[in-house]
Amino acid sequence: MHQATITLDPAFKVAPVRRRTFGAFVEHLGRCVYTGIYEPDHPLADDDGFRRDVLELTRELGVSTVRYPGGNFVSGYRWEDGIGPKEQRPRRLDLAWHSTETNEVGVDEFVRWCRKAGVEPMMALNLGTRGIAEALDLLEYCNHPSGTALSDLRVANGAKEPHGIRMWCLGNEMDGPWQTGHKTAREYGRLAAETARAMRMVDPSLELVACGSSSSSMPTFGAWEAEVLEEAYELVDFISCHAYYEERDGDLGSFLASDTDMQYFISSVVATADHVGARLKSRKRINISFDEWNVWYQSRFKDAGTPEDWPVAPRLLEDHYHLADAVTFGGLLITLLRNSDRVTAASLAQLVNVIAPIMTEPGGRAWRQTTFHPFAQTSRYATGDVLRVEPVSPVYETKAYGEVPLVHAVATHGEDGTTLFAVNRSMDGPLSLEIDARALGAVRVAEATTMTDPDVYARNTADEPDRVAPRPNPDVEQEPLRVLLPPVSWNVIRLTTS
């Protein structure tokens, strides 16, 4: 049997737990919006057409912020199309996802949904086919109280109070040649800087996100961040990171260690941003908004090809996640928490149906995918401060990353106690994890749950929605503190004062 140890000490603080780490993403893509969050003919639809079952699951998931409306979609989006009487809203071709956008849902509906879900709206701007003027127009429409053409238009459209959106993304993935309006780093950096400068003339307190690299494998990675920040460093608060992972060629061991690449991504962007800041002799620190991350089988999407027609809300990117996906997902979430000193916002992409923790059927049921559970448990139990933990663990060899520890973990500590989040990547047996918690005083394991299955590719479905879910872990010892982690498992261990 494998054995590992972890030491918990409240003196080893990384940073406070950032609630914005538990953000998500709603894009006009596939069925995320239509028959996802919005389906007016559904038996459970409320008066605004929002599915009550999806709202309940969103609250249970513990989402803090939601980024909207894209994603690639935003680079061709005209926000004015989505306001006013619905019967007068134009239908448009969406070049990003080869679909027809009906514009039944726009910024006002989205903010209304956010209020019902109890989440903070995070707005992305179109800097692909549009620019400074349109960004200012949307800001005025959303946030100015009244007394101007656009703020009064919002009031006339039924939103008397300002939307009060604080966090704004200055475009999306502008480094990618797939992006409508793709730009070089220098071109984008100048546009982002001038857009930010103008927006701050309206409201200096806004929190602004510049586009970083859409992947650490992009040929411009590193150079892109440096050039963009040379132009916009003093005008933005965040640089974004986007990363997706999938199992390739049956290499499960490397897939389970995908967080290794995420850590490389974060460390590289932090180093680049700090280098630019030093060169500019700035005392300001740029943080990371990791506003797209998930397991996504992109190879399946690429193999599917482009449809000949322009459908409304087609089934796109509807990955059905299994246990191994959820354990890898949990490792990514652990990595975000471990870097809470610099990753101060994040958005799981996406929320419903599209590579999502929540699945729905039109007119039918909604259920939790396997990835729902690591997110919901971490959002619920991660409170207080993030503690730096370095497991002493056996390693295994991976094709992609070399030697990787079997255990990947993080802990949080606050008034509600201490919680340890851990994945066991071992594929050949359980692991006995001893917890050295002497620095916490007299503590015991109050609760231990594990999510595992004899079949690492087991999935949840509408007919079997709880096949893979956290369950009590019976293999706990109190003296010394020791928990048996099953192979390929996601684990949450809560400690309390004896």
Catalytic residues, by residue number, are 173, 292
Question: Which pairing describes strands 120-124 and 167-170: parallel, antiparallel, or unpaired?
Answer: parallel
In this structure, are residues 436 and 390 in contact, taking their beta carbons and an 8 Å threshold?
no
Taking the C-alpha atoms of residue 194 and residue 334, their distance in angstroms, rounded to an integer, is 36
73: left (phi over 0), alpha (psi -120 to 50) or beta: alpha
- Taking Cα atoms as reference points, which of 137, 228, 122, 138 lies closest to residue 174? 228
CA 260 to chain centre: 17
